[in-house]
Amino acid sequence: MKTFEGSMTALATPFRDGAFDEQAFRALVRYQIEGGTSVLVPMGTTGESVTMTPDERARAVKVAVEESKGRAAVVGGAGSNSTAEAIEGVKRVRETGADGTLIVTPYYNKPTQAGLVEHFRAIARAHPGFPIVAYNVPGRTGVDMLPETVQRLCDIPEVVAIKEATGNMPRALDILEKCGERMTLLSGDDFTVLPFIACGGKGVISVSSNVAPRMMADLVASARAGNFAKARDIQVRMNNLHRLLFVESNPIPVKWALHLMGLFGPEVRLPLVQMTEPNAAKLRDELRTLGLLKA
């Protein structure tokens, strides 16, 4: 079963006058590939998937597949708090030609640990042989998938990796202890990429790499090669960028950054709103410091 690792980007979704801006999205995909991103992850949290229609989500994943032309793998988000809806979402992702799917733990209805296992088992049974990246982000979902539960997911061949977004290094070690090399560990927290890889991680699904793909790719490659001094230097250099990209709800700041960089407009969908001016000014200054603005 194919798995995914390296510097992976949770792609932001550009809008123009309320509609999906396909051409701008293609430009973002090209920017990512040129910057060394190994896996594209459209239709996650950063992609505002929850305010997009099923047709829009499927089109975005399809565009990523078309534009990447096999140069980077594509893992399309299809998570839902309804197992039936997730199964249908994965069907749409498969039809685009994507390489796998990202499935967040069900939110709002707060399933038990046993319910989480059965959720992923049902999706895998409906889509045999299609790789699944499980996504644990309790700060957004209200449920935390524990290491013992991840161990149970090892019995489901389709679940090849977990995006662990707690920023908790003991958690990463606990999963490694229970799952070994069976489950690919991916960080979901830009602030802790280096320590996460040192704890057995194989990469990151990153927000900041939308803006600085080459820096993130170099950080991940250095850490995986054991060049921790170089990786530490990059991690520290990016620290304020991470801070500013999360100073307001993701993806508000990252879309503003991409707007400043000339990739696409800052438009977000309600209930998200534009970035406040004081924070926007700080972000603009940081992009200049990192050499990411043309002027």
Place of tokens 């640990």: 113
Read off the tokens for 119: 């959720």
Instruction: Answer yes or no: is 252 a known binding residue.
Output: no
Q: How far apart are CA 93 and CA 49, in angstroms?
A: 13
Is-cis flag, bond preceding 271, omega within 30? yes
Place of tokens 């603005």: 293
Please tell me which residue in 2, 107, 108, 135 is annotated as part of the active site.
Answer: 135
User: What are the φ and ψ backbone dihedral angles of 186, each rounded to 5 degrees?
Assistant: -125, 135
Instruction: Answer yes or no: is 46 a known binding residue.
Output: yes
Q: Is residue 135 annotated as a catalytic residue, yes or no?
A: yes
Q: How far apart are CA 194 and CA 88, in angstroms?
A: 36
Q: Which amino acid is at 213?
A: P
Please tell me which residue in 31, 62, 163, 202 is annotated as part of the active site.
Answer: 163
Which helix H or strand E contains 13, and what residues bound it?
none
Supply the residues annotated as catalytic. 135, 163
Residues annotated as binding site for pyruvate? Answer: 46, 205
Residue set of the binding site: 46, 205
